[in-house]
Amino acid sequence: MKVAKLGAGNNMNQRQKEILTLVQHSGFVSIETLANSFDVTPQTIRRDINSLCNQNLLTRYHGGAGLSSSVENVEYATRQIMFLQEKQRIAELVANHIPDRASIFINIGTTTEEVAKALQNHIGLRIITNNLNVASILRSNTSFEIIIAGGEVRQRDGGSTGEATIDFIRQFKVDFGIIGISSVDNDGTLLDFDYQEVRVSQAIIHNARKVFLAADSSKFGRSAMTRLGSLEQIDCLFTDSAPSEVFAELLARHKVQLEIAE
């Protein structure tokens, strides 16, 4: 089946996104298959694969490309610009579901940082976060109360983790927990790369009355090693495109509300 060509200007970026999605679903895709699917030359596909490999999103193999490492995440600066428009749409949708004067947890992640930006015009929020970037984004709103969880601050992304962070989170019971994720496995398992970061997210899930998961479509079927939890612990999934039929059935089985930022 041929994949329709897209308009000039965004062709490369969009094709690379679609290549990434195909590899995530299949585990490995050959250059020949991709060239036929997108009706482009193998050389063009090789350039796309090289770009995705340079971002640690895929791994080159003879004749094609496969999934990247399950033990190492993409660098933070790269994640900030990956799927940015999708993250921004998701963030606006999440913000629309947060009422004024609510209490919320926000964890580490580039998607949750976009949610923080989308919340800037709310009134009277009480925000508890282990993400210094989130605190910095929201501090200009004088009606907000912002509480930063203690712990060791990571230089690479401004997040705090460790026992002190977890103990601090456990002192609260809030209205909404807003979390990002690195991967949602095909069986509904929530996965990430960093054990310490996962433990903080677990504490957020256990101490929020409602849990919102914000995840763009590139996260579905991606490889990551550390188990955070499962979809049944989530109240609402916010994403940018409709999931597969199998995954939609999984959401329905666990009674997870689905919100799509078209």
| Better-predicted residue by pLDDT, 158 or 2 | 158
pLDDT at position 75, please? 66
In single-letter form, the type of residue at position 212 comes to F
Q: Is the dihedral of CA 122, 155, 152, 212 positive or negative?
A: positive
Measured CA to CA in angstroms, residue 24 lies from 27, 40, 222 at distances of 5, 21, 6
pLDDT reading at 205 higher than 60:
yes
Look at strands 160-161 and 189-192 and give their pairing: unpaired
Residue 239 contacts residue 217 (beta carbons within 8 Å): yes
| Better-predicted residue by pLDDT, 201 or 185 | 201
pLDDT at position 69, please? 55
SS3 state at 246: helix
N residues, the chain = 262
Q: What is the mean pLDDT of residues 29-53?
A: 90
Rg (Cα) of the chain, in Å, rounded?
19
pLDDT reading at 80 higher than 80:
no
pLDDT tens-digit profile of 163-188?
999 999 999 999 999 999 888 888 88
Helices (H), 62-212: 76-81, 84-96, 110-118, 132-138, 163-169, 195-206
Q: Hey, what are 101's tokens?
A: 């004067």
pLDDT reading at 237 higher than 70:
yes
Q: Hey, what are 63's tokens?
A: 């004749």
CA atoms within 13 A of residue 163's CA, in its CB half-sphere: 0
Q: How confident is the model at residue 26 (pLDDT cuts 50, 70, 90)?
A: low
Of 61-75, 111-125, 148-162, 227-241, least confident by mean pLDDT is 61-75
pLDDT at position 73, please? 56
Give me the chain's average pLDDT, please: 86
SS3 state at 228: strand
Q: How confident is the model at residue 4 (pLDDT cuts 50, 70, 90)?
A: very low
pLDDT tens-digit profile of 122-142?
999 999 999 999 999 999 999
pLDDT at position 68, please? 63
Q: How confident is the model at residue 261 (pLDDT cuts 50, 70, 90)?
A: very high
Report d(CA 240, CA 27) in Å as an integer.
22
CA angle 7, 10, 16 (to 5 degrees): 115
pLDDT at position 7, please? 34
pLDDT reading at 10 higher than 60:
no
